[in-house]
Amino acid sequence: MKILRITVSNIASLSGTQTIDFTVEPLRSAGLFSISGATGAGKSTLLDALCLALYDRTPRLHRVGRLESLDGGEQQNDPRTLLR
């Protein structure tokens, strides 16, 4: 499998629609790249989005376990809590 593009919309720290396209430069010719940035920039959110797309869950929320319900009735480890 080769990931060509990741598009997220209003998930955690990433507001609006954001797209990372691996088919255009400079990512197209990069054999290896890093995901880096300041605290709160969305590095973990990007990985969460990828995991949600592939597996319908995120490791970060899976570790939380079942905690108390939120106002909307979801559990705190429900992936829907990542949405803005």
Residue 8: how many CB atoms within 10 A of its CB? 22
Position 4 confidence tier, pLDDT thresholds 50, 70, 90: very high
Q: Does the pLDDT value for residue 28 go beyond 90? A: yes
In a domain, 36, yes or no: no
How far is 11 from 56, CA to CA, in rounded Å?
Answer: 14
Regarding predicted confidence, which is higher, 77 or 22? 22
The token pair at 33 is 């790249």
In a domain, 19, yes or no: yes
In a domain, 68, yes or no: yes
Residues spanned by the domain of 66: 5-28+41-82
Give the count of domains, the chain.
1
Q: Does the pLDDT value for residue 68 go beyond 90? A: no
Tens of pLDDT along 36-67? Answer: 999 988 888 888 888 888 888 887 766 554 44
